[in-house]
Amino acid sequence: MFFSVEYRLSPDFKFPVPLEDSYSALKFINDNCKELFVDSKKIIVAGDSAGGNIAAVLSIMAREDNNLNIIYQILLYPVTDGSKNYESWIENAEGYILSSNLMNWFYELYLTSDEERNDWRVSPILTEDLSNLPPSYIVTVLSDILRDEGRDYASKLKEAGNNVQHIEYDNAVHGFMSWPLDIKITKKAIEDLSKSIKKIIS
Does a cis peptide bond (omega within 30 degrees of 0) precede residue 16?
yes
- Rg over alpha carbons for the chain, rounded to the nearest Å, is 16
Q: Is-contact 43 68, C-beta < 8 A?
A: yes
DSSP-assigned letters across all residues of 60-80: HHHHT-TT--EEEEEEES---
Which distant-in-sequence residues (6+ apart) come within 8 Å of 28 by Cβ?
none
User: What are the φ and ψ backbone dihedral angles of 39, each rounded to 5 degrees?
Assistant: -85, 105
Active site residues: 49, 144, 174
DSSP class of residue 198 equals H
Edge-to-edge strand ranges of the sheet holding 136-143? 43-48, 70-76, 136-143, 164-173
Any alpha helices (H) in the chain, and if so which ranges?
A: 17-31, 50-63, 87-91, 100-110, 147-159, 184-201
